[in-house]
Amino acid sequence: MTFVTMGVGTREVLLGLLLGNLLAVASWTLVTAPIAVETRRSLFSYLEQIAGPYFSKIYNVAILLFYGSLAAAMITVSAYALRFALGVPVQLEWYPTSGMFILVTLLIAAVVVVVAANGFEAMANFATICAPWMLACFICGAAVALPVLALNATGETGFGGFSSFIEVAKDQIWTGTTPAGAPGISLWEVAAFAWANGAMVHLGLIDMAIFRFARKKSYGLFSGIGMFLGHYVGWIAAGLMGAGAAVLVGLPLTGLDSGDVAYATLGFIGILVVICAGWTTANACLYRAGLAASNLMPSVPRSRVTLYVGVVIAVAACFPFVARSIMPLTVYGAMLLAPVGAIVIAEHYLLPRLGLTRYWARYHGLKLNPAALLAWGVALAFALTMLLTGAMSFYFIFIPEYLIALALYPLLAARMGARNSWPKREEQQAAREEALTAYEERREAREAEAAEVEDDEEDPSGFHTARLAKWMLFGAGVMLLSMIFFAVRIMVLSPEPALLESFRQTFQITAIVCTLCYFITAILAMQVTDANEG
């Protein structure tokens, strides 16, 4: 939907998103997973060892600002969806224009804050169940929108293959010009945007925590593939849904919000999609922001700190401009956080290869690594200069910024003490790392042995419950495929214009039934699995 308003062309969307998401997958596989498996640490733990506790506090402030802003934006997105049931007018100004919208936003924020403070594990499980369903809903929305777009472009609901789809897309969706008639961004800018969308977690290494217990470095590829499907398919589907909704509602896309688009194409299920997407993302973001804040205030319980942060976020969420800033916000996040990942990569890989001492700042007894702070500061100054002068496209800035931090840190470290050596401390550190490696090997061996014993001495009841859980998951998958089938059926059959609305209504009813069955089955399967493991 954002690409439509940005005036991106069809070729630029299809190829740019492909290239950018492939680069993101490569970043997870070649950058994030290897260092996580080698160190068995989270970024926050490793960063404190490298740059000192004061640097970690500064970094936590950055995390708090970024993820707090993102949480506020996603709460606003959820509030958009609920306005249909309450008759709240669309919020197109930067400030709220309805008291009911403020009330709805605050109620959603309250739920998000309570869950993030007390029950994040349950919310994480719910988000795991939601993810495949949301992707299926995006695919369905695109399939429903295509005949509408074809009808608007050609007078017929059908299109003859991929070439006709491209023609409809060029005419109705990704036209290459903005609604104001200005040229859209280039293929390379689309690719850079797609890469930047997750750069703070893969190039910035925040996802080290996910892979620190992975057995192989190649496991990063699986996480990247899931991200690729969610972003590439999801973004293209969102564009189709946005353009289709504009035709169905009879308004320009700039006059619609996410709730309008989802409801026009998917009906009431669309409202649920927007609520779940905003709710699950906001919970994860608020949880991260709360952790960052608790690191800044270690004497205050994490739940109370999260509550304080949540109150500020709830107020910010009442301003609609926050939600409209989601897409550029992710690029700003890459600019702000990715250089820190470059510093960690340089410390871990480059310093030993350059004959410099890893962990030199800690051996010096420094609470703040001056080389790390200066490298980050110079990288941010470069990004700010590019933003203010317009000398470089907004979407490209994080790439040279990352490289600046990567190259500058070893140079600064060499001048500030990394050339020195501490043989005794280095031997102690090497011994600790060897002990950690040995511990991980023993842990993996124990887990493998326990799995073999469990297989040999399988409890009949446990075997049956495990099989039951698998059948439930299979049934949940069938529900999603059924929902997609009924949506694709509209696209393939291309019913006559007079019947198109009837087909769409039939799908929307079917989607409600399939969704209910999916969630019931998937939640029961998770409960059975947890009970069996317990």
- 1-17: pLDDT as tens digits: 567 667 788 888 889 98
Over its C-alpha atoms, the chain yields an Rg (Å, rounded) of 25
**Rounded average pLDDT over 321-347:** 85
Q: Average per-residue pLDDT in the chain?
A: 82
Residue 334 in any domain: the answer is no
Of 53, 22, 384, 86, the closest CA to residue 232 belongs to 22
pLDDT band at 383 (very low <50, low <70, confident <90, very high): very high
Of 372, 310, 311, 379, the closest CA to residue 345 belongs to 372
The CATH number given to whatever domain includes residue 190 is 1.10.4160.10
- Confidence (pTM): 0.84
**Rounded average pLDDT over 22-50:** 89
Name the range with the highest mean pLDDT among 164-173, 290-299, 395-404.
395-404
- What's the angle, vertex CA 514, arms to CA 509 and CA 517, rounded to 5? 130
Residue 484 in any domain: the answer is no
Tokens of 494: 């291309």
Check if the beta carbon of residue 31 is closer than 8 Å to that of residue 202: yes
Is the pLDDT assigned to residue 413 strictly greater than 90? yes
Check if the beta carbon of residue 284 is closer than 8 Å to that of residue 66: no
- What pLDDT, in 10s, does the model give residues 446-474? 766 655 555 444 455 555 677 787 888 88
Residue 147 in any domain: the answer is yes
- What pLDDT, in 10s, does the model give residues 68-99? 888 888 888 788 777 666 777 766 677 787 78
Element (H, E) at 141: helix 120-154
The strand pairing partners of 177, in sequence order, are 183
Tell me, letter by letter, the H, E, C secondary structure of 221-258: HHHHHHHHHHHHHHHHHHHHHHHHHHHHHCCCHHHCCH
Residue 370 in any domain: the answer is no
Residue-range definition of the domain harbouring residue 106: 2-322
pLDDT for 121 = 65
DSSP states of 361-430: HHHTT-SS-HHHHHHHHHHHHHHHHHHHH--S-TTTTHHHHHHHHHHHHHHHHIIIIIT---HHHHHHHH
**Rounded average pLDDT over 126-138:** 85
486 contact partners, CB below 8 Å, separation of at least 6: 140, 506, 507, 510, 511, 514
Residue 199 in any domain: the answer is yes
Is the pLDDT assigned to residue 190 strictly greater than 80? yes
SS3 177: strand
Q: How far apart are the first and last CA of the chain?
A: 44
Compute the distance between CA of residue 24 and CA of residue 191 in angstroms, rounded to an integer.
10
Q: How many domains would you assign to the chain?
A: 1
Of 269, 252, 250, 249, the closest CA to residue 260 belongs to 249
Residue 364 in any domain: the answer is no
Check if the beta carbon of residue 61 is closer than 8 Å to that of residue 296: yes
Check if the beta carbon of residue 119 is closer than 8 Å to that of residue 287: no
Of 489, 337, 356, 490, the closest CA to residue 413 belongs to 356
Residue 140 in any domain: the answer is yes
Half-sphere exposure of 34 (CA within 13 A, CB side): 10
Residue 168 to residues 150, 153, 215, 520, Cα–Cα distance (Å): 6, 6, 47, 38
Check if the beta carbon of residue 466 is closer than 8 Å to that of residue 532: yes
Place of tokens 């398919």: 233
SS3 299: coil
Is the pLDDT assigned to residue 534 strictly greater than 70? no
Residue 346 in any domain: the answer is no
463 contact partners, CB below 8 Å, separation of at least 6: none
